[in-house]
Every structure is written in structure tokens, then in C-alpha cells.
Amino acid sequence: MSNTKEIITLQFGNYANFVGTHFWNAQEHSFNYDPDVEEPAEINHDVLFREGKFFKNITFTPRMLLLDCKGSLKYIKESGNLYSNISLERNNPEKNLLDQVIHTIDWDEENIEVMESEEIPMTDYQRSLMETDDDDEKIFDLKSSVQNWPDFMYTRYHPRSINIIKDYEYHNDISTLDTFSAGLQLWNNPFFEDDYCDKIRMYIEECDQSQGFQTIFDSIDGFSGVAIKCMEYLEDEYSKSILAFPLIPNRTKTFQFADEGMSETIRLVNLAFSYAKLSEHSSLFIPLSTMERGWRNIGEPRKFPNMSYESDNLYHSSSILSSFIDTMSLQYRLREHSSQNYLSNFCAQMNTYGRKMCGGKTSLPFPMQEKEDLIEFLDKFDGDLMQSISPNVKIGTDRIVQHVTLRGLSKTRLKKPLEKAKDQMKMAAYKCTSISEMLQLYFQCNTYASLSHVAAVGSPLQVKLPFPKEFFDSRIASNGFLREFQSEEKANVREVPIMTAVQNSSELANTLENLHTHVERVKLAKVPRFSDSGLEKEEYKELLEQLLVFKEQYDENSFL
């Protein structure tokens, strides 16, 4: 009996799908197709992927459902692009597909009216995927050409995966599914009960012992309402762990019929609802954004040393968040695991006292030099090892509980062997025999009254195209470590070491209190679209109350 414990991933909203697209691309890039190489058994891809069959072919696709508005798919068919791509066939005059289809319809042909939307041309990148296999060398300038997530989608999805909301349309500059309450209402659409939930059931039915769900969703628009409703449903129906990542995009749109000020208010209220309801319906949640502030005026892009991303580029920022999720989630999707390493345990370790919100930190890439050993690096390093990627969250080094994951460092980089060790031997850390042990020691020394769980995984983060590796600066070598010698020329980075942390601390009380203060000031009567979509005044009061109660879980009344 395999001990795979499957996870189902749910994505709600456009930015969530940006992040998801990068996430699945990265998964697929870390597969090993070479039959001669022994599988570097670390990562168990069966946790996230399912094996299927299409005629005689075996397919391997994410156990995932995504949700977006009408029009966001562009040239991708709703049934996904796993089995065929009709757009190409449409271009083929000998095989005029439409005519073929018309002939098969049993209705007076004169009385069939074809209403054809203009064919949406594929981007160069997508076309290149149809033609040749990976060509990492070709240049597509994705950072300026990507308009939406299908434009950099590398992974093929199962026909079940793509779900489109017909009632709301995707626009470049405005978002139409505006409020949390509109999202709640949308959930009543029979589509969710009849189709969407049934697809979740079908995924779960295939699982022998699923460990739970990852949900990634846009927390500032109406998708938040849909996501929360869905989590409520998951809780009810499956009672398994739910880890949620509410997102705040780094570039926001205004809402339909609302100016910027009004849009800010709507975002704020949606966000507050998301956090409050997550405290109820998730097992654990980690808000993510590349912006420092996420409430009223979303702003100040986070800075990361050794890389320069375009701070308002969704394609860029989403790859940073995705690499965080990819790395921290290794905790519960490794092949070799003690019975501890499951989502349920992960959540239980992090959410004590009802503190279900955590902050996320990342160091992309992990700033070690090419020739350095970990022991030296940790000894010399001064400054912040990781940067926060949770909005309005600042967590220090006192009284924290954290889960740290470092990937991309082989065991040989731990320390020098005895005969060459020299000064290293003088350090207390020299007795550590594994990377995780040494990191454990490091955190013991660098935090106070804290608890750290540490995992180290050898395989680095793959940053093949369409990952925006152009944002690594010239200090980064092609293996992702800092170059020993400066060079003007950028390397073609293929993989990078990365460290992430999920942290809980009483300092998060500040975050929640601050959110509460902001949202308390909103006069909901001035935003009629909330009540128009069914929100009662009482519910709003309850929301404020719920946020406060949640915040109190973080007050320093216990030893943490």
C-alpha cells in the first residue's frame, strides 16, 4: 500500500490563478522523466497529481480546480488543453471543424446560425509549446507579453480543472465580481452544487487517504466569498484539513461603477470578511502579497535582495508567492516522511490556541555563496535571512512558532570534512550532522523562547521558463547561489536554493487590530452594493466582533 496522502488544490480568482499557474509549472518542471536516473525520491508528486487515462495514454494532471470569470481563458478551451487544441485545427482549411460539426447536428442546416467569436490567437510562448518540447533558450519576453495566466501556462490540466463563471466577465481594468457578499450569493448558483462540488467529490473519490485541501484565493474581491463558502462546504462534507492562502495582488483593479476610493473600501471590507471567516473555516491560513501594506492603500512593494522584480507586474509577483507555497508545502508532500509530516500535523503545530493566521517569509534565493558551506554562511550572515511576504505583518525573533524549509542545499554543503575543517571545528555547530540539525541550532540561538520545526530538502527550486528568472540580478550564478566573483553579465539561472518560513507569533495581534481599526471606520451604508448583494447590517457587526475575538487569541496571555 502506498503511503501517498493526497491533497486537492482549489484556486479562486484571477490572481490566485496567476499564482497557481506558476505553482503547477514548477511542479511539472521538477518531474523526472529520465528512466535511467533513479527518482530523487524526495518529493512525492502523487500528493498533488493524479494519474489518468486517455485512450491508451497515461496522463498525469494536477488534482486541482480553478475558478475564474468568463473571458479569462482566451485561447484555452474550457475542457483544458490536455487532449486537443482545437484552435490549431481551426486554422487548418482541410479540416474545417465547424463544417464538420454542423453536418453532425440533426437540425435543418439552413436553420443553424453560427455565432463565432473572433479566434483569439495564441501567444508565441503557447505556440512554441505545441511545436517543440521545452526550449529554455528561446526568448519570449513574457514579462511584457503576459496579459493573463493562460499566457504562461505550461502544465496541462484535466478537463475537470477549469471552471468558468458565466455571470461575471473578465476585464483588464475593472473587476466585476465585486463584494464578498456577491461571492456568497454566487455560491447558490446551481453550478456549484451540481458541477463544482461534484468535481471535488470525484477527486476525493479517487484518493485512498486524502490529507486535505490547499486553497488559494483572491481575498479582496468577490472571489473571497466563493472561497469561504467552499471551505464551509469542505468542512461540512469532508472534515479534513484546509490550508488557505488569501492573496492580495500587487496591482489592483477598480470595481465596476466605483472610483478608486470606493474600490479601496470594498477591498478592505472583503479582506476583513476573508480573515474573520478563515478564522472559522480554515485549519490555518497564511495571507500573501508582495506588498507591504494590504488594507486601504495597498502599497510599498517588498524588496528582496539579489533580485529586482517589476513591482506592479502580476506575472512577476505571482511567481514569488508561488515559490513560497511550493517550498513551504514540501513539509507535507515528501516521499520519506515520518507520520508527522502531514497537513493535519502541520496545521496543528502552527495553530495552537486558535491562532489560525500565520505570516510567511521567504528568501529568494537563499543568499549563500557558491563555494560557501552552510556553517560559514550562518556564522557570517548578518541581517534578515528572509523577507516577510504577508501584508502588514512584522514578526521578530521572540516567542515565535515556526516551520522553516530550506531546499536546494546538498549535504556536502553543510561543513568541511574534518581534515579540512580548520576554524569551522571551533564552532559549536560543527557537531551537527545534517542541514536541518544545523538550522535548528541556528534558530535556537537566534530566537528567544521559540519553537522551530525545520525541514531541509536537497532538490532546489527549478526556475525554468516560464518562470521569470530574468528578475535575478547579475550576482546570481546559474545554479542559484551568489557568485564568488562579480560579473556584469547575467547568468541563465536554472535553479535556486530557497528558504521559507511560516511563523506564528503574538505580534500578529497588531496586524489584526490594525485591520479591525480600519474596517471599523467604514460606513457600510455608503457602500450599498454590500446590502444589495444580501449582506445584513447584523452580519457586519458580527464580522467586527469576530475579528476582535480572533485578535484576542493572539494576546499575550499564555507562554507564547
Q: Smallest gap, in angstroms, from Cβ of residue 101 to another protein?
A: 6
Under rule CB under 8 A, residue 70 binds another protein:
yes
Q: How far is C-alpha 404 from the chain's CA centre? A: 17
User: Smallest distance from the beta carbon of 366 to another protein, in angstroms?
Assistant: 27
Q: Decide if residue 71 touches another protein (CB under 8 A).
A: yes
Tell which one of 116, 259, 489, 538 touches another protein (CB under 8 A): 116
Interface with another protein (CB under 8 A), residue from 342, 377, 443, 554 = 342
Among 45, 77, 253, 416, contact with another protein (rule: CB under 8 A): 77
> Per CB under 8 A, which region of 106-114, 310-318, 375-383, 436-444 contacts another protein?
106-114
Nearest to 22 by CA among 366, 444, 468, 511: 468
Q: Which residue's CB is nearer to another protein, number 411 or number 537?
A: 537
The rounded distance, in Å, linking the Cα atoms of 365 and 27 is 18
Q: Is 115 in the site for another protein (CB under 8 A)?
A: yes
Q: Does 98 bind another protein (CB under 8 A)?
A: yes
Q: Does 111 participate in binding another protein (rule CB under 8 A)?
A: yes
Compute the distance between CA of residue 499 and CA of residue 408 in angstroms, rounded to an integer: 9
Closest CB 116 distance from another protein, rounded Å: 4
The least distance separating another protein from the CB of residue 229, rounded to whole angstroms, comes to: 16
Q: Which of 210, 452, 504, 505 contacts another protein by CB under 8 A?
A: 210
Q: Which of 57, 132, 339, 486 binds another protein (CB under 8 A)?
A: 339
Find the part of the chain contacting another protein (CB under 8 A) among 134-142, 340-348, 380-388, 461-469: 340-348
Instruction: Locate 270 and state its grid cell.
Output: 472583503
Q: Which amino acid is at 10?
A: L
Closest approach of another protein to the CB of residue 385, in Å: 25
Q: Return the residue matching grid coordinates 449582506.
A: 535
The alpha-helical segments, DSSP class H, found in 505-560 are: 508-520, 528-532, 537-552
- Does the protein bind another protein through residue 209 (CB under 8 A)? yes
3-state secondary structure of 529: helix
Q: Does 63 bind another protein (CB under 8 A)?
A: no
Is residue 304 a contact residue for another protein (CB under 8 A)? no
Cβ closer to another protein: 317 or 345?
345
Nearest residue (CB) to another protein, 332 versus 472: 332
Contact (Cβ atoms closer than 8 angstroms) between residue 402 and residue 503: yes
Told to check if 102 binds another protein by CB under 8 A, we report yes
280 lies in the binding site for another protein (CB under 8 A): no
Round to whole Å and give the CA distance between 351 and 508. Answer: 12
Q: Does 353 bind another protein (CB under 8 A)?
A: no
Any contact of residue 107 with another protein (CB under 8 A)?
yes
Q: Looking at beta carbons only, is 136 or 198 nearer to another protein?
A: 198
Least distance (Å) between residue 223 CB and another protein: 20
User: Per rule CB under 8 A, is residue 105 in the interface with another protein?
Assistant: yes
Of 241 and 447, the one with the shorter C-beta distance to another protein is 241
Cβ neighbourhood burial of 117 (10 Å; 0-12, 13-18, 19+)? exposed
DSSP state of 364: S
Asked if 257 interacts with another protein (CB under 8 A), we say yes
137 binds another protein (CB under 8 A): no
Query: Pairing between strand 359-363 and 498-505?
Result: antiparallel
Beta carbon of residue 245, minimum distance to another protein (angstroms, whole number): 19
Sequence-distant (≥ 6) Cβ neighbours of residue 98 within 8 angstroms: 90, 114, 116
Closest to 185 in 3D by CA, of 142, 223, 129, 151: 223
* Beta carbons within 8 Å of 76's beta carbon, 6+ residues apart: 150, 153, 162
Cβ neighbours, 10 Å, residue 560: 17
Closest separation in Å from C-beta 304 to another protein: 33
Is residue 14 a contact partner of residue 216, using CB atoms and an 8 Å limit? no
Identify the burial level of 112 via C-beta atoms within 10 angstroms of its C-beta, where 0-12 means exposed, 13-18 middle and 19 or more buried: exposed
58 binds another protein (CB under 8 A): no
Instruction: Report the distance separating Cα 93 and Cα 80, nearest Å.
Output: 23
* Chosen residue from 73, 321, 461, 498 binding another protein by CB under 8 A: 73
Least Cβ distance, residue 381 to another protein (angstroms): 30
**Half-sphere exposure (CA, 13 Å, Cβ side) for 481?**
17
Smallest distance from another protein to CB 191, Å: 11
Q: 52 or 301, CB closer to another protein?
A: 52
Q: Report which of 13, 539, 554 is spatially closest to residue 277, judged by C-alpha positions.
A: 539
Of 468, 455, 157, the residue nearest 328 (C-alpha): 455
- Give the total of residues touching another protein (CB under 8 A): 62
User: How near is the Cβ of 87 to another protein at its closest, in Å?
Assistant: 5
Which residues have a Cβ under 8 Å from the Cβ of 547 and sit 6 or more positions away?
A: 272, 275, 276, 512, 515, 516, 519
Strand 299-301, strand 284-285: pairing: unpaired
Nearest to 316 by CA among 157, 472, 502, 497: 472
Shortest Å distance, C-beta 536 to another protein? 15
**Termini Cα distance of the chain:** 40
Using CB under 8 A, list all residues that contact another protein: 1, 52-55, 70-71, 73-79, 86-87, 89-90, 97-98, 101-102, 104-107, 111-120, 166-167, 169, 198, 201-202, 204-205, 207-210, 237, 240-241, 257, 283, 339-340, 342, 344-345, 347-349, 352
